[in-house]
Structure 1
Amino acid sequence: MGVTIKDIATKANVSPSTVSRVISNSPLIGEKTKRKVKKVMEELGYFPNFHARVLVNGATCSLGIVMPVSMRDQDLVFQNPFFQDVMKGVGSFVHSKNYSLYMTSGETEEEIYQDVVNMVKGRRVDGILLLYSQEEDPIINFLVEHDFPFVLVGHPPDNVQNITYVDNDNYKIAQNVTKYLLSLGHKKIAFIGGNKRLIVTRNRLSGFLDTLSLSGLSVPEDYIKHTEFSIEGGNASVQELLELNELPTAIFVTDDVLAMGVLNVLHEKEIRVPEQVTVVSFNNLFFAGFTIPPLTTVDVNIYQLGYEAAKCLVEKVEDTSATPKCIVVPSKLVVRKTCQHIGDQSLEKISSHLDFQIVVQ
């Protein structure tokens, strides 16, 4: 006969209910007691039966993961390390809480929506983590209508209230990045962003445009490009910019993978960066310091976005009365070699009037 919770309780000199709480990592149990019980479990070779736990309390100990529509193509998922880094943060926390992850497998928006419906109505997961936020999203509307625990990585749409989300302050960051480019002397600045429906794209574009407007500058419509988060998307967008009669002196790019595509084309066309065109981007992905030249980019703490989102979701699952919260993850600008200082101000003076941490590498 296998080792039981009662066996663990007897040897550890605690109650069976305490052992159960240790297995579920309950905050009601102190760390000293947890260590003692876990040591006994290890000594006796006990492994929790999570299937039995599901039958007893109805919990699946699983969380659903939903990717953005454009990232549901597996090639794009693996091309953009942002989502891999987010998943590292998610996985780190859920592992500590003994939860497993269930990722949607559909290829279209309709298939993903049906997959989420099946997860919720079939009680396959206890909560859902959306690694994006976009306008007019039927999945968000469905989860709200069914009062099912979920958390967004990103700012919620304007018509969705009182939900938990984890995000950077993308509007403010975009303002500061634009101010940085202006302070370097640039006035002709183009924008390359993701899908128009994505809230992160809207917030970064708004911060960019509002800052230029306050500086008395307008942006030609041809200077604003929207595409998918891929190298090909960056390639195509910068190709279109290079066909214009008046070229920008700087390009504000909202994703490092896009920026890689931009840098590739500029290199092929023998357009020097940053001497002829400055490029600044977002995410500080692992390759950003190895592009040619090394990429100036905003470090948005991707791992922390995932970790905090998973933490919030588990809290909601384990306490359905928990108050909705907003977690804002800090960021910083990592200055490398793709920005050209063409103004007459020193870097120290530029940094002094930005509400933003700047790290020069």
Structure 2
Amino acid sequence: MATITDIAKKANVSPATVSRVLNGDQSISVKDETRKKIYEAVEELEYVPLIEKYSKRKNLSEELTFLTVTAFSQETEIEDPYYLSIFYGIELECKDREINLEKVYRSGGEFDFDPELEINGIIAIGSFTDDEIENFSQMTDHLVFVDTEVDNCKFDSIVVNLKKVIDKILDYLFENGFKEIGFIGGRDDNKNDRLDQREKAFIEYMNHKGLYNEDHLILGEFSIDSGYKIAKESIDTDNLPEAYVVANDSMAIGVLRALHEKGIKVPEDISIISINDIPTSKFSIPPLTTVKIHTEFMGMMAVRTLKERIENKRALPITVNIPTEMVVRGSVKVD
């Protein structure tokens, strides 16, 4: 993209002279030959004034329509503050940038797309099958995935490095003297029963320490109800680890209730630490120690990344890793 400096070098004049000529400054005395060189350089380098570039981008922004596709049902989003917060960030950013926003949920295992809808790009939230991703790519060249990283040779992704999150949690527990640690998590139906990143990272870390105990691995679904159910059915009061790492706060809240009903005290008898820092986590009993994921910011970055890709005609994909932070409350026993 040519600049005034490029034109000045080409015409063998100063940038100030180029600027004044292009802005129609009548007070400057420049030979006709020099003016001709400047305009020839402008044409050859295809220079576009900054104000014109901005104007084009502004007009483009006003015409943009983004489609969000969620890998789950509308009911799931309403029940899970994690995903609700991501969409809230998307909604806020689209409103601020005057971008039209449409939305499609998974219903009965499928997506009901409006064939008449004209879109500029798709924000896909959650995990999808390979066939679904291929279908999205047929609808638009501009795709960004949130909360999952797909083929990074093609698509943009807004993600959190969950391996680092688990490592951070386990480092924290080991620093505070814990050795017997279990994991409560789940599997995603759209990932063909592959190991969840959190579960995989936990197993790798504990195996490296020589302390992995399969008896302390409990799997269900990523919801309050599932956390409650699997904790109620699977946690043996006579074979407790010192702590459980729970895949998300929603599950952890269900686990806390089940432990309370079993007469197991947190953190006196067992410590619980989870991930996300949803609003209710600080009001649980006890308040959850958790790793905060900036979900609203993830949604905002998805909009910004997609908009930038469209405006700059960027073909190379990027992955944006959102940082996390530990929020220490009362569910981990610390000496």
Across the aligned residues of Structure 1 and Structure 2, the Cα RMSD in angstroms comes to: 2.7
| Partner in structure 1 of residue 83 of structure 2 | 83
Q: Does 1:216 align with 2:251?
A: no
Deviations 1:121-175 (A, max 9, x none): 64532211111135x4422122345653111113424x56332101111111111
Identify the residue that residue 255 of structure 1 maps to in structure 2: 248
Shift of 1:101: 1.7
1:24 is aligned to: 59
Give 1:244 shift.
Answer: 7.0
Tell me, yes or no, if the aligned pair for 1:129 and 1:309 is still in contact at 8 Å. yes
Moved more, 193-202 or 312-321: 193-202
Please say if 1:273 is aligned against 2:276: no
Offset, 1:100: 2.0
In the alignment, which residue of structure 1 is the partner of 2:19? none
Q: What one-letter code is carried by the residue in structure 1 that aligns with 2:86?
A: V
User: Match of 1:94?
Assistant: 94
Partner of 1:327: 320
For residues 278-293 of structure 1, the aligned pairs below 5 Å read: 278-293=271-286
Distance 1:106 1:327, change over 3 A: closer
Instruction: Pick which of 311-320 and 78-87 moved more.
Output: 311-320
Q: Deviations along 1:72-113, whole A, 9 cap, x unmatched?
A: 151x3212111121112111211122112211144122x22x
Whether the aligned pair in 2 keeps the contact of 1:241 and 1:247 (CA below 8 Å) is no
The aligned residue for residue 33 of structure 1 is none
Counterpart of 1:66 in structure 2 is: 69
**Aligned residue pairs: how many?**
283
With over 3 angstroms needed to count, the CA separation of the structure-2 counterparts of 1:206 and 1:300, relative to structure 1, is same
Which residue does the alignment assign to 2:200? 206
Distance change >3 Å, CA 92–CA 73, structure 1 → 2: closer
Say whether the 8 Å CA contact 1:179–1:211 is kept in structure 2: no
The 2-side partners of 1:105 and 1:204 are apart by: 25
Matching residue's letter, 2:69 = V
Q: 1:165 aligns with which of 157, 160, 175?
A: 157
Helix, strand or coil for the counterpart of 2:285? Answer: coil
User: 2:218 is aligned with what amino acid?
Assistant: K
CA distance 1:102–1:225, shift in 2 (3 Å): farther
Map 1:97-246 onto structure 2 (within 5 A): 97-109=97-109, 111-112=110-111, 115=112, 118-119=113-114, 122-134=116-128, 136-144=129-137, 148-157=141-150, 161-197=153-189, 202-220=196-214, 222-243=215-236, 246=239
Name the amino acid aligned to 1:290: F
Conservation of the 8 A alpha-carbon contact between 1:80 and 1:229? no
Any conservation in 2 of the 1:24–1:98 contact (CA below 8 Å)? Answer: no
CA deviation after TM superposition for structure 1 residue 319, in Å: 3.5
Give the residue type in structure 2 aligned to 1:262. Answer: V
Deviation at 1:336, TM superposition (A): 0.4
Identity %: 26
Task: Indicate whether 1:310 and 2:294 are aligned.
Answer: no
DSSP 3-state at the match of 2:183: strand
Report if aligned partners of 1:171, 1:207 keep a CA contact under 8 Å in 2: yes
Gaps in structure 2 of 5+ consecutive residues: 1-51
**One-letter code aligned to 1:132:** G
Q: Distance in 2 between matches of 1:265 and 1:127?
A: 43
Change (3 A) 1:170 1:89: same
Equivalent-residue separation in structure 1 for 2:320 and 2:213 (angstroms): 32
Q: Give the deviation of 1:207 after TM superposition.
A: 1.6
Distance 1:123 1:341, change over 3 A: same
Greater Rg over alpha carbons, structure: 2
Counterpart Cα distance in 2 of 1:176 and 1:107: 36
Q: Which runs of 5+ in 1 are unaligned?
A: 1-16, 27-49, 51-58, 343-361
Q: 1:216 to 1:100 in 2, by over 3 A?
A: same
Report the 3-state secondary structure (helix = DSSP H, G, I; strand = E; otherwise coil) of the residue aligned with 2:118.
coil
Q: Matched residue of 1:276: which SS?
A: coil
